Chain A
Amino acid sequence: MSGQDSPRQLGLIRPFIMTGGRTATTRPGLRWETLIEVLGDRSRLAKTTEQRTVLSLAGRPISIAELSAYMHLPTQVVAILVGDLLDTGAIRIHQTDPVEIELSALTRMIERVRAL
């Protein structure tokens, strides 16, 4: 994604600079597997380069963990960026509360895994 000798990868830019020094999101519902998705064409709502990158990657549902992997940023930093974008209305999340799993979902998972 970025050049090998970019300041980020040389460790010259601390990740939490991008979050204004915040180290935790105020949205506890954001987990590593939480899927986010851009709402229509809201890319103009991005205020920073990192927010723009999130929006460019979230054209289809993508998890915070995947964003973290593609952006080379810690999950906590991505969660903060995502929280800010939720505040602007640029994205939506696919679920909020911890999952109360249903039998039918488990059955579908078993069928899928068996087919591997």
Chain B
Amino acid sequence: MSVLSETSNRHIMAVKFVIAGGFGVGKTTFVGAISEVEPLTTEAAMTVVATGVDDHNAVAQTTKLTTTVAMDFGRLTVDESLVMYLFGAPGQGRFTFMWDDLINGALGAVVLVDTRRVEDCFAAVDYFEKKELPFVVGVNCFDGAAHYSLDEIREALGIPVGTPVFEMDARDKTSCRDALLVLLELLVARLTAKSPS
């Protein structure tokens, strides 16, 4: 906070990361583990389009409803000119409406997988791949949950070689920190591969 307190002409770069996953997988806990402030809640307005049946007149047939979806996010000040923001985002397909806004400018994502509901992150993985947003996959191993090997998870989600998949525990701060480091190291590797010096 203190390093952001002075008004001056310098520019502060804000970078964004996405923590995606299904309900109860630990997105907010993850955000809270990294954030220097208690996670805040923002909301994105969402237009639900109830589509009509007449294809020839689709526009005329639709009804629009506006509602909002809450998202928790946190902040980590790196230094006087760099701030990281982490947004917890629901991974299920019905939230894709806001992912364009969400990943606009984002550097990368951590996808949290609950082995009891792997399908909750199918849509997020597909979307990040399509948009070429670098991501890593953290597999949360909850007590009593069926245990799948990382290879099985990789295959089930269709995760390409070169995208890290690892086990983690979102309830553990060190584990969240390490997951974010895996993502940051991936970004370094991609950047170095792109521009060899």
Contact = CB atoms under 8 A, between A and B. Distances in A.
Interface of A: 14-16, 23, 31-35, 37-38, 40, 59-61, 63, 65-66, 68-70, 72-77, 94-95, 98-99, 101, 103, 105-110, 112-114, 116
Contacts of A77: 45
A67 B42 CA distance: 8
Contacts of B14: 33-35, 63, 94-95
B43 A75 contact: yes
Contacts of B45: 15-16, 23, 74-77
A75 B42 contact: yes
Contacts of A33: 14-16, 83, 85, 105
A113 B181 contact: yes
A47 B76 CA distance: 33
Contacts of B15: 33, 99, 101, 105, 109
Contacts, number: 129
B188 A107 contact: yes
Contact of A32 (B6, B33, B101, B192): B101
Given A33-B14, A66-B40, A108 B82 contact: yes
18 contacts: A16-B45, A16-B66, A23-B45, A32-B42, A32-B73, A37-B7, A65-B42, A65-B87, A68-B42, A70-B40, A75-B42, A76-B44, A94-B11, A98-B104, A103-B192, A105-B13, A112-B78, A113-B181
Contacts of A74: 43-45, 68
A40 B185 CA distance: 39
B7 A60 contact: yes
Given A99-B107, A106-B187, A113 B76 contact: yes
